[in-house]
Amino acid sequence: MMGGDKFSTMDPAKKAEHCKKQSAIVKQHWQVRSKEAQASKTANIWQERSTQSKNKIAQKISNTLLSKSETTREETLVKYRHTVSLRPTIICPHCGKSGTNIANMNRYHFDRCLQNPNMLPRKPRPQLTCPHCGKVTDPGNFKLYHGEKCKLATSDNLIS
């Protein structure tokens, strides 16, 4: 016979015996694993603790869970909105744009405001012209959509 696996060609009696052997091996493996888990360090530490210390730990856990569940989502949102409304409004001295997030205004807007006279000049990106469609683009778009990949390019232009 050609093809197939050993189970499809195996005698049903042998197949049942093989499956029993495999399940016994798997059961033995998991029994060893569970014994190792019971003997682990964390299990021993928890078993060595007194009932009084176990109760204290359980009480601390339940107290923290209760304190977290007391504040509802709406209360949290009201607190957040209240703190946002207390933020001072910052106004750009160059263009007059206003915002409440001082970190973003300082980090992004003030240094890059186009009306800032102290701003360093930006380097203009080189512009390339596609020979097939005549479109002027930056190098990134030229590489992706123009030149040899231009939709107006014909096979005659590519060969020559």
Residue 118's φ and ψ, nearest 5 degrees, are -90, 0
Of 7-11, 69-73, 114-118, least confident by mean pLDDT is 69-73
* CB contact at 8 A, 122 and 102: no
Digit-coded pLDDT (tens) for 5-34: 666 677 778 888 888 888 888 888 877 777
In this prediction, residue 1 has a pLDDT band, given cuts at 50, 70 and 90, of very low
Q: How far apart are CA 154 and CA 147, in angstroms?
A: 11
In this prediction, residue 44 has a pLDDT band, given cuts at 50, 70 and 90, of low
pLDDT surpassing 90 at residue 78: no
What percentage of the chain carries pLDDT values higher than 70?
67
